[in-house]
Amino acid sequence: MLDLAALQLDPEVTARLPDGQEIVRHLTQSRKRTVHDVLREAVRSGTPAVQPRCGVGGHAEMLALLRGLEEGAEPDILTVTIDSHTRLKHFATAAMTLREDPRRLNGYPLVAHGWERGRELNDSVRAPLEVRHGSPDARELFAVAVASGITSFEGGGVTYNLPYAKDVPLARSLRAWQRVDQMCGELAQAGVIVDREFFGSLTAVLVPPSISLAITLLEAMAAAASGVRCLSPAYPQGGQIHQDVAALRSIAELAARYLPADVEVFPVLHQFMGVFPADAGTADALILYGALAGRLGGAAKIINKTSQEAHGIPDLTANVNGVRTSRMAISGFLDFVTLDEERVAEEQYWIQREVSEIVEPVLSGSNLLDDIDTAFRRGQLDIPFSASIHALSQVVPKRDSGGAIRYFDAGRIPLSGASADFNRSRLDMTGDGAGDVFIASIKRDINYFATSGHRRARHISEGERQWTV
């Protein structure tokens, strides 16, 4: 029997939930495909699943959005994106805002709506649902999600803390997420596989691939130790296709090296999470570019963007068109596109070497969660441009001349001399890493795809001269 008491939930939330036995019964008797089923089929077919983001406050509006997306684009997985009040466990504020004006919510307040409405969302569409949010402590949200019949839940104690929260101690968020993962382990023993996705996008600002992969790998290891059987490490498109493909392909190899053999691992690509082009045509080209990188990299799933990213929350039409654009990129339409495999292999070698240099000192300790916390305190693990005081943010990333993201300064991350030399060899190391000129160069790197029209087109094409037809 599923023991919800182990989650140590807010009593008001617990009082409104069905018991664990009923939750398991509902999940096991459901005829609907799970996210795990979809990911398995994507791997078998060699075609990534496509998933848009979406979330609005009102229940009727959320139902209409999900149904409209399914009717217009037939995505493989659909999203319930959660509002910021619920993410921070301000459940009363979310409920009050829902009553007064749901349009003021920037997502769906699932805890306030409750599991019965959650089941209505899940039953209203053929595609399985995933909850995406950004909460350092998602125990209540997770309980309502599984009671709703939702079979995929994103986040982790690092990836949903340090990029989002200013002052939530890592020890607290890591332990809260450990309870979520333990509950996923109990569900797995009862025959229910919940997909756990890890948010490798982090701050979405010039994240070196090895940082993204190292942190999601550590979260995946912690989840597997708690009994999770379906792991989806997500990597954010950086913008240089050889590096992005190499990073995606590295996920399976790193999983084979560091994760138990009895877990399933599904690489996920987030289409470009940085500053998006304002021009709709260029934005669509970037979406096509990202989906192509996902297919060539062997992603099991692609999280989709839209042409309206630069202008606010995308509407239904933009989401439908974004999914259709990605479908074109992962179809046989672009089968003629190949890459310089020697260049990809070189990137894979250095990415995997850097990941090992980052994670192995953490794994040398005796308690993984404590050792992750300690590593961040010391700067041995770090995230550039973090909002949190619990990350040193001493890493300074830069793009090289081809657009790949490198370490200008690795801070206290324990890269070897060889890895540091490789990064230096790919960068223009003139200047001391300070001053207005250097800051301007960082801003240019952040706005890599959001520059003037002719430069945007050049950035998407020049870095890919190695494509062969």
Mean pLDDT value of segment 30-40: 97
Dihedral (Cα; 212, 221, 156, 413), 10-degree rounding: -40
Nearest to 159 by CA among 170, 150, 167: 170
What pLDDT score was predicted for residue 454? 39
User: Which listed residue (40, 53, 87, 229) is catalytic?
Assistant: 87
For residue 338, the cross-strand partners are 468
Verify whether residue 87 is a known catalytic residue: yes
The answer to whether residue 434 scores a pLDDT higher than 50 is yes
Cα–Cα dist 85/45, whole Å = 39
Q: What is the pLDDT of residues 361-388, one digit of tens each?
A: 999 999 999 999 999 999 999 999 999 9
Give the chain's mean pLDDT.
94
Question: Cα angle at 296 between 449 and 200, to 5 degrees?
Answer: 60
- Give residue 432's pLDDT band: very low, low, confident or very high (50, 70, 90): low
Q: How many whole angstroms separate alpha carbon 81 and alpha carbon 175?
A: 23
Structure confidence by residue, pLDDT tens digits, 56-74: 999 999 999 999 999 999 9
Taking the CB of residue 122, how many other CB atoms lie within 10 A of it?
23
Which distant-in-sequence residues (6+ apart) come within 8 Å of 61 by Cβ? 102
pLDDT digits (tens, 9 = 90+) for 79-90: 999 999 999 999
Please state the rounded mean pLDDT for residues 258-272: 97
> Which residues is 131 bridged to in the sheet?
80, 153
If 0-12 CB within 10 Å is exposed, 13-18 middle and 19+ buried, where does residue 434 land? Answer: exposed
Spatial contact of 107 and 84, defined as CB atoms under 8 Å apart: yes
Catalytic residue among 154, 264, 309, 464: 154
Q: Is the pLDDT of residue 135 over 70?
A: yes
Residue 94 has pLDDT above 80, yes or no: yes
pLDDT in tens, 329-368: 999 888 899 999 999 999 999 999 999 999 999 999 999 9
Q: Which pLDDT band, with edges at 50, 70 and 90, does 435 fall under?
A: confident
Residue-wise pLDDT for 170-182, tens only, equals 999 999 999 999 9
| pLDDT tens digit sequence for 445-467 | 999 998 744 344 454 544 444 44
For the chain, how big is the Rg over CA atoms in Å? 21
Rounded to whole angstroms, the Cα distance separating 50 from 80 reads 15
Of 237, 392, 379, 383, the residue nearest 303 (C-alpha): 237
User: Residue 264 and residue 228: Cα distance in Å, rounded?
Assistant: 9
